[in-house]
Amino acid sequence: MSIASGRAATGRATIGLDVGGTKVAAVLVESTTGTVLDRERASSAGSATDLVATLTGLVGTLRARSAGLQMEVGAVGLGIAGLVDRDGVVRWSPNLPASVDHPVAAELASGVELPVVATNDATAATLAESRLGAGRGCDDVALVTLGTGIGAGFVVDGRLLRGAHGFAGEPGHMVVDPGGPEHLTGQRGPWEALASGNALGRMATEAGFESGSSAVAAMAGGDTTATDVFDRWCREVARGLANLVVVLDSRRIVLGGGLVEVGEPLRLGVASWLARLTPGADSRPAVEVVLAELGSDAGALGAGLLAGDQVELQVGP
Amino acid sequence: MSIASGRAATGRATIGLDVGGTKVAAVLVESTTGTVLDRERASSAGSATDLVATLTGLVGTLRARSAGLQMEVGAVGLGIAGLVDRDGVVRWSPNLPASVDHPVAAELASGVELPVVATNDATAATLAESRLGAGRGCDDVALVTLGTGIGAGFVVDGRLLRGAHGFAGEPGHMVVDPGGPEHLTGQRGPWEALASGNALGRMATEAGFESGSSAVAAMAGGDTTATDVFDRWCREVARGLANLVVVLDSRRIVLGGGLVEVGEPLRLGVASWLARLTPGADSRPAVEVVLAELGSDAGALGAGLLAGDQVELQVGP
């Protein structure tokens, strides 16, 4: 493959793409260290064909700029919010309905003439946090992202859990309260409806705040109503985490997503409730609760790392 | 080690022990094929010291008889109902409180002068069913045993899931309905309180039957009230299974435990509800629901297999 710049490429890189309900994050990842060398963003709106065009454009942009960094891009990784099968096709996605059953990965591969590997966005983020972020050095990690919804991914016994069809790690759809609110999936009381960032927003507005963010701001200022709302929401987060702990026996839980900006009050609130809600908690080591370290890069970076792993597998060391 | 019989041993075997809330099952397992050559039972009642004496006695009995089969016993496996850490110590066990924090495995090893490996009883049963029973040939299997409580074990990506401390696979303690009945753990509405054999018994007596068994018998005779009770209970079973499916993406669920005697109505009732309760079910392959094949031997056999694996690891091929 020819390089756009006249200079010869001296390093290997991948491009990671993180497709969420509203936007796409793209990063250029140096393959040896996982360093993010460059990044770009775009909207994920439109049809599946529009999405493929957007992704193709992002890859083209970062790839052109990579030549200036003397990097050669060997593969593309794609993280998508939804159930992504092992062939890279989105099979179910409440947040990206237009992409369902469309061969997004295959069309992107054809358009950019590079291998493309696809997975769930939170699974990709888990790979990044476990290798380079808050999960490093730990063989049993659960990443749980708290944002519009709840995403998750698991490292068990040192390996990324993919499941039979690549669909593992969707605990946001666990029903934890059949008397709870109805969700866009049609389920009543899934964890995501009770403990996502959106759920915090609902609880905050019910308590008279303008939004979840304003409740968080009020809490920082010492408002007791806001503190109470946030604590009740932390309890909902911990309730689902306790369910995960009894199933997976995770050593460390990494909290990610937009809510991480709250910082220590989030970590402490969730950890306190988790200790109270985990059955047999007095008889088992406390689960570590930590905040994600890679911020909004995590999903795209993880997709890039996954692409690098696949290339490694394909072409050998 | 000398053999009690005058004849030389020609085969290698292990002894597997399955310690439940009321009884201990012991089997002699031929190491090459996993064939159960002999079995014995005893009560698990009494103190931890009593339990060690019972286990030592069972091993002695089967080992003495193994000599007549020209088998040499190389190790002992112990499956215990509770959280068993990687050192073989029970850390939490609502059903076997006397054994908690007692070095049962170490004392047994000392008493019988054989290596002893210990794990959770349902984890042991999962190993047996996945290798020799209803889970064979499948890399992503969940075993769920429906009896006094709910036990479980998972094979993910072809490997037995143990977790950070060996405590993985306790979904009976997942809270699925915070408005549900209080359980002996102090939790309200864990899956076990709603979907175990005991829960079926409670639902049956509430509907006027003498017990769960009499409701099952009445259902077989066409009684519509009994059929309704059983269907509602199958729904509770499926509710928890749907939670497991979104977390683990299991390909096959093996139903085990005493309730398996109900047969096809159990399998079909649970499978039907699972298809209705799994989010995104229309977009993913249906999860196979099958009945366990190894009956009441599964736990002890799995413990014996695990002991064989460990010996294999210790002494090499």
The amino acid at residue A32 is T
Q: What is the ipTM of this complex?
A: 0.89
Global pTM value: 0.90
Q: What is the dihedral of CA A265, A267, A271, A274, to 10 degrees?
A: 100
Cβ–Cβ gap A283/B83 under 8 Å: yes
Mutual angle of helices A197-206 and A224-248, in 10-degree steps = 150
Cβ–Cβ gap A246/B173 under 8 Å: yes
Helix (H, G, I), strand (E, B) or coil at A57: helix
Element (H, E) at A255: strand A252-256
Mutual angle of helices A104-112 and A48-68, in 10-degree steps = 40
Contacts of A171 in chain B (CB under 8 A): 243, 246-247
DSSP string, A178-211: TTS-B-TTS-BSBHHHHHSHHHHHHHHHHTT-SS
Q: How far is A185 from chain B (nearest CA, A)?
A: 7
A11-122+297-315 and A134-293: same fold?
yes
Contacts of B176 in chain A (CB under 8 A): 175-176, 178
**Burial tier of A58 (Cβ tally within 10 Å: 0-12, 13-18, 19+):** buried
Quote the tokens at residue A86: 């092992």
Cβ–Cβ gap B248/A247 under 8 Å: yes
Quote the tokens at residue A210: 């303008």
- Of A248, A249, A244, the closest CA to residue A284 belongs to A249
Cβ–Cβ gap A250/B164 under 8 Å: yes
For residue B69, give every residue at least 6 positions away whose Cβ sits within 8 Å of its Cβ, in sequence order, or none.
Answer: B11, B13, B28, B37, B38
The CATH superfamily of B11-124+296-315 is: ATPase, nucleotide binding domain (3.30.420.40)
Give pLDDT tens digits for B46-105: 999 999 999 999 999 999 999 899 999 999 999 998 888 878 888 888 778 888 999 999
Interior angle at CA A55, CA B247 and CA A183, nearest 5: 35
Of B92, B169, B243, the CB nearest to A280: B92
Helix (H, G, I), strand (E, B) or coil at A112: helix
Cβ–Cβ gap B175/A91 under 8 Å: no
Q: Which phi and psi (to 5°) does residue A228 adopt?
A: -65, -45
- Of B151, B133, B155, the closest CA to residue B258 belongs to B151
What is the third-level CATH fold of A134-293? Nucleotidyltransferase; domain 5 (3.30.420)
- Of B184, B149, B19, B240, the closest CA to residue A280 belongs to B184
For residue A245, give every residue at least 6 positions away whose Cβ sits within 8 Å of its Cβ, in sequence order, or none.
Answer: A253, A274, A278, A287
Residues A11-122+297-315, CATH architecture: 2-Layer Sandwich (3.30)
For chain A (317 residues), the mean pLDDT of every run of 10, in chain order, is 55 95 94 95 93 97 94 95 84 84 93 94 95 96 93 92 90 94 89 96 97 96 97 98 97 95 97 94 91 95 93 46
Give pLDDT tens digits for B277-313: 998 888 889 999 999 999 989 999 999 999 998 865 5
Contacts of A250 in chain B (CB under 8 A): 163-164
Strand partners, B154: B142
Extents of the domains making up chain B: 11-124+296-315, 134-293
